[in-house]
Structure 1
Amino acid sequence: MPSRERVLVFDFDGTVSLGHGPIRSYARFVAAGLPTAAAVEFLGRFETDISAPPSATRWAQPIDGYDLVRLLAEQYDVTASARSAAYLASRQELATNAAPVTSPAGLADFLAEARPTAYLVLATNAPAIRLEEALAALGLAGAFDAVHTSVGKPDGFGPLLDSLLARLPVGASSANLTSIGDVWENDLAPAYMRGATTALVGAPPPRTATPTYRADHLHELYPALRDWLDSATPLAPGTTSLDPTFTTALTTEKADQ
């Protein structure tokens, strides 16, 4: 196998795992702690806002669906501890009929194609709860070389990125790492600040975002990412490639939710 002198870092929710199923599950668990009338109103507002274009959200601008639930819950005086409990309960339903998910078109094939050239990393703020089962349901079991959970993006992402950049060949540009995600502030800004390549998917980005690549759907980025992978130059004789001990890992730090 050729030396893998590049790194691809993927976010999970909204990037590798698609669909509003897990977010709806989170909203249902939040609503379960409210009086009946308030719960009905809460869920009605949630469904209206989760389906609306970002610009149509009148009261606030959430960064993603989970943030939408948080912002709505705060308006109903749901405490941070109650939100956290609801979120963790919702993860027990991840990739079940109660919280279905789908994967981007062609992702498994793209990862298999990229693996000879790049180490594949999954980095998510979500806890490890049912993550292995979700990856299996998405057809991605064993597709990543490393899986990091409860990362604590954006602040907690920096140390992980630094460790990945340190594994690049001596003298390699930080652009040899690409971070892919749907939230600029969490998934890409920390990588951008380190000179890494960035790829943003999903809703239109904030005006301050400056991703290297941008598309509505992940599969639309495959041609650009293939070009990025193909532009990797062979390692010079005697150059050390990525750390051979860099193998699949599943971290289980406290969830940052």
Structure 2
Amino acid sequence: MERTIIFDFDGTVCLGDGPALEYARGVADAHPSLADLEHRVARHLAGDALAEFAGAVDGYQAVQGAASAAGVDPARIAAAFGGARRRLAEEGLGVHAPAGFAAFARDLRERGARLLLVTNAPGEGLDSILALLGIDACFDRVIADAGKPGGMHAVLDDIAGEASTVLSIGDIWVNDLSVPHRRGAATALIDGHGNQPGTPDVRVRAMPDLYMWVQRWIEGATGA
């Protein structure tokens, strides 16, 4: 029975704070309260529980929320985000794939699994980023601008087979895993700081900690 594994992108297979910090730099001069936003976002991403970012699920939301609260024109915020994504595609901004991921993905596909990359990130430049990461040959299908969490329904509807043959892996419970969980798929949460909500089948600090569990799931040996 074919198994399908859905991977998130930012924070899951694309690691590094550089893009979010570049986004913060892009709005820093838009309002006096944002002058040190890069530093505050860096602290948030390092695990500091800063009250102003309590509702932000990632660095991008932290920047957007702070800029919006300061009254920055939405067009300026969008331009800063677009600029950060362009620089990511062109320069990498220090991002990297999880250790051993390319070999891990190759092993899963050799075992008969179908691998999907599903991300809310824009499609423009995504191929270049995957190539920079060295994981451009890892996925059977790449879905950008997915509109998660709601967009996960369409992704799951398009997968043939029972929900029990699907595993969703991501670093944000609400966006990446909540819908698959409700629909009966297995879920694996990358929770680097141990503070994510949710009830995944497995919770780990980093992607490599998950490799053996996923290999066992492929063989139907996890009980998930």
Alignment of 1:20-99 (within 5 A): 20-32=17-29, 34-35=30-31, 37-53=32-48, 56-61=49-54, 62-97=56-91, 99=93
Normalising by structure 1, what TM-score?
0.79
For the residue of structure 2 that corresponds to 1:92, the secondary structure is helix
For the residue of structure 2 that corresponds to 1:70, the secondary structure is helix
Whichever of the two has the greater Rg, that structure is: 1
Q: 1:133 aligns with which of 128, 133, 151?
A: 128
For the residue of structure 1 that corresponds to 2:176, the secondary structure is helix
For 2:203 and 2:184, locate their aligned partners in 1 and report how far apart those are by CA, in whole Å: 17
For 1:74 and 1:63, locate their aligned partners in 2 and report how far apart those are by CA, in whole Å: 16
For 1:220 and 1:11, locate their aligned partners in 2 and report how far apart those are by CA, in whole Å: 16
Q: Which residue identity is paired with 1:10?
A: F
After TM superposition, the structure 1 stretch with the greater mean CA deviation from structure 2, 143-152 or 23-32, is 23-32
Q: Deviations over 1:46-81 (max 9, x none)?
A: 33333343xx22234121111111221123212333
Task: Compare relative contact order (CA 8 Å, sep 6+) and give the higher one, 1 or 2.
Answer: 1
Shift in alpha-carbon separation, 1:133–1:60, aligned structure 2, 3 A:
closer
Q: 1:220 aligns with which of 200, 209, 213?
A: 209
Taking only aligned residues, the RMSD between alpha carbons, in angstroms, comes to 1.9
Between Structure 1 and Structure 2, how many residues are aligned? Answer: 218
Aligned to 2:114: 119
For 1:19 and 1:75, locate their aligned partners in 2 and report how far apart those are by CA, in whole Å: 25
Q: Deviations over 1:17-46 (max 9, x none)?
A: 0000111111111224x15x4442333433
After TM superposition, the structure 1 stretch with the greater mean CA deviation from structure 2, 69-78 or 184-193, is 69-78
The structure with more helix, counted as a fraction of residues: 2
Conserved 8 A contact 2:16-2:94: yes
Aligned to 1:204: 194
Q: Which residue identity is paired with 1:185?
A: V
For 2:79 and 2:122, locate their aligned partners in 1 and report how far apart those are by CA, in whole Å: 12
Q: Which residue identity is paired with 1:148?
A: I
Q: Which residue identity is paired with 1:21?
A: G
For 2:75 and 2:217, locate their aligned partners in 1 and report how far apart those are by CA, in whole Å: 43
Identity of aligned residues (%): 37
For 1:198 and 1:81, locate their aligned partners in 2 and report how far apart those are by CA, in whole Å: 36
Q: 1:180 aligns with which of 159, 169, 189?
A: 169
For 1:98 and 1:106, locate their aligned partners in 2 and report how far apart those are by CA, in whole Å: 19
Q: Deviations over 1:105-126 (max 9, x none)?
A: 1100000000032111000000
**CA apart distance, 1:194:** 0.6
For 2:186 and 2:175, locate their aligned partners in 1 and report how far apart those are by CA, in whole Å: 15
Aligned to 1:108: 102
Normalising by structure 2, what TM-score?
0.90
Q: Deviations over 1:197-255 (max 9, x none)?
A: 00100332544x110111010010011100001128xxxxxxxxxxxxxxxxxxxxxxx
**CA apart distance, 1:148:** 0.3
**CA apart distance, 1:196:** 0.2
Aligned to 1:8: 5
**CA apart distance, 1:146:** 0.1
Q: Which residue identity is paired with 2:156?
A: L
Q: Which residue identity is paired with 1:57?
A: L
